[in-house]
Amino acid sequence: MKPILVYITAPDEKDAEMIGTTLVKKKLASCVNILPGIHCQYIWKGKFQHDKEAVMLVKTFDTKYKQLEKTVKKLHCYENPCIIALPITKGSKEYLTWSKKQCT
């Protein structure tokens, strides 16, 4: 099991809370940080978009990613949600041990 950080956006804090709670309760994540009120600019279906969103920073492990992605897609209201996994190359041994325990 290798630790990863998964970056996920949601339309608002309420949706992020619902998704985050599900991930933690299903042991697909040890912890989810929610950052509300970010601003997002992008082009979707040929039109420029400017929205407010919430970001979830999800601490988990590579062995959990496939099920985490499937769960997020099932719960998420976006047609194509942002779900990006980044490797954690270093971290507090104590924190990573605790995190691993939460996901097993």
Q: For the chain, which residues make up each domain, given as ranges?
A: 3-102
CATH fold of the domain at 3-102:
Alpha-Beta Plaits (3.30.70)
d(CA 53, CA 24): 21
Q: State pLDDT tens for residues 61-104.
A: 999 999 999 999 999 999 999 999 999 999 999 999 999 999 99
d(CA 103, CA 101): 5
Tokens of 23: 């991930």
The dihedral over CA atoms of 89, 9, 19, 85, expressed in degrees to the nearest 10, equals: -20
Tell me what percent of the residues of the chain surpass a pLDDT of 90. 99
- The model's pTM: 0.94
